[in-house]
Structures are given as structure tokens and as C-alpha cells.
Amino acid sequence: MPDQPSKKQKREAYRDEISHNGEAAGAELPKKKFYRQRAHANPFSDHMLTYPVAPEHMDWASLYPAYAVEKQPQKSIGQKRISKDVEIADIGCGFGGLLFALAPKLPETLLLGLEIRTSVTEFVQEKAKALRIQNASTGMYQNVACLRANTMKFLPNFFRKGQLSKIFLCFPDPHFKARKHKARIVSYTLNSEYAYVLRPGGIVYTITDVEDLHLWMVSHFEKHPGFERIPEEELEGDVCVEVMKTETEEGKKVTRNGGKKYIACFRRPEDPPWP
């Protein structure tokens, strides 16, 4: 009896089939079972990532071709430009549930998913391509893209000061062991980077099903002078909060299992005037 192909072999065969079948296959949504990957990734490891030395060197046009500017400034030091800036970042976007739910609701805003896992990033990229082809007549989903990146190390390499209006931290890895807490995506130091790339009035959205992690995130944001917590009553009717609760992969899993979701959002206040 011949040996059964491994998961890796099945995945590679599936991806080869997609690449050989051209645009017709590109319109087909990718199958998540071929892109599964372990949930944990060490953010302190060298993942051989490619990243710009500064935001002005970032090639955004390859991610958002519908917004590419044909004529580039003669003194442009970066790659091809786009007609508007990315405004929303989903850090640790997973399989992109939040991105693909928000994209039609915010059609004039560019959204970017940042994910450290290779296969998961590829899934989101392939799904974005397929949805663009399927919705070519309406132009939907041209505003959503995904990058493989380690935001704990390189967030300011991608975004200028005050560029973003929203950052999402949805169901981040809780890193339960105390010695692993330094790998959590929220810390006083990282919050300073979030404050740097957020414009005044910008919001960080957090959600988790782990109460300890929720309290950790709240504590670290409330201690940081660059953020103030938004009262729950102000979040009522916020479409981003509703999508965050219902459309992420982890959010759906928590709902199926009857778990509780802990939500906290923090606003970047205006900078005080210089004396």
C-alpha cells in the first residue's frame, strides 16, 4: 500500500494547482485546511523577515494596486506610492476575519493585516486576491491587504508618526507562564510604539477571552500617559466593536463554546502643548 501524502505535501500540491490554473483558480477562495499552522510563534526569533528601513521606503502599491499612483515624484526614495495612507492595522490578524468583515463597511479606508505566521499570512493574501477578482465589477476588497511582519520589532518601520486611526489587538496570544509575559503584545514599551503610530483621537481596540490577559492589557494601557480608556457607553454602536466581537475566528470559537469576551478600548489623547 503506497504511503499517504503528508499534510505538507498536500498543501504544496494544492498551492501548485492554484498557481498553474491562472486567474480562474485565483477567483476561488483558498481552503483554510491547507494553511493551518500552530498558534504560537516566538516574536524574539529571527524569522528572516523583509521590512522597509523607514516608512517612506515601503512599497504600498504592490499591496493596494487599485490605489497606485502612476506618476511618482522624481525625488521619490521609496517604491511605488498610493493615493491614500493605510489607516487601520490589525496586529496578529490570523485568518483575516476582522479585515474581510470591515473592508466593505469602511470602503474608503485602507486596512492592513500584520501576521507573523507564514502560512496564515499567505491564506489572507490569497483570500484578498480571490475576493478582488470576484468583486471586480464593484471594486470591493481593494482596500484590504496583509503582510508578514513582527510588529513587536518593526512597527515604526511601516508607519509614520500619527498615521493610523485604529489598531486592533484581537485575541492575542495570552502567554500564560510568567516568564513568557515579555512576549505579550501589550506592554508599557510597546504601548509607546502604538501611541507613536496612532494619530490623536486614534483608538486601540482589544478583545480576549482570557480575563487575566484582559486585566493585564487594561493595566498597562491605563498606566501609559499616551492613552485613556474609552467608557463602555461610548462604544455602543461602534461598528468596529461589533465586528471584532463576532467576525474574528477566535471570536466565533468563543461564541460556539459559550465563553466570555472581554473588551477594552483606549484613545490616544491630543499631545499637550510645548511650554
Domain locations in the chain as residue ranges: 37-267
Q: How far apart are the first and last CA of the chain?
A: 80
Q: Which residues are within 8 A (CB) of 175 and not within 5 positions of it... i.e. 6 or more apart?
A: 181, 183, 184
pLDDT tens digits for 186-208?
999 999 999 999 999 999 999 99
Other beta carbons within 10 Å of 32: 12
Distance CA 68, CA 84 (A): 9
Residue type, 2: P
- Of 71-75, 124-128, 243-247, the poorest mean pLDDT is in 71-75
Against a cut of 0.75, is the pTM above it?
yes
Give yes or no for a contact between 96 and 124, defined as CB atoms under 8 angstroms apart: yes
Residue 102 pLDDT level (bands cut at 50, 70, 90): very high
Please check the confidence at residue 24 and state whether its pLDDT lies above 70: no
Cross-strand bridge partners of residue 229? 266
The secondary structure of residue 198, as a DSSP letter, is E
More confident of the two residues 2 and 168: 168
Known catalytic residues are 173
Q: Which three cell numbers stand for residue 60?
A: 504600498
Residue type, 53: V
Distance CA 86, CA 162 (A): 11
Mean per-residue pLDDT over the chain, rounded: 88
- CATH topology for 37-267 is Rossmann fold (3.40.50)
pLDDT tens digits for 205-260?
999 999 999 999 999 999 999 999 999 999 998 999 999 999 999 999 999 999 99
The secondary structure of residue 88, as a DSSP letter, is E
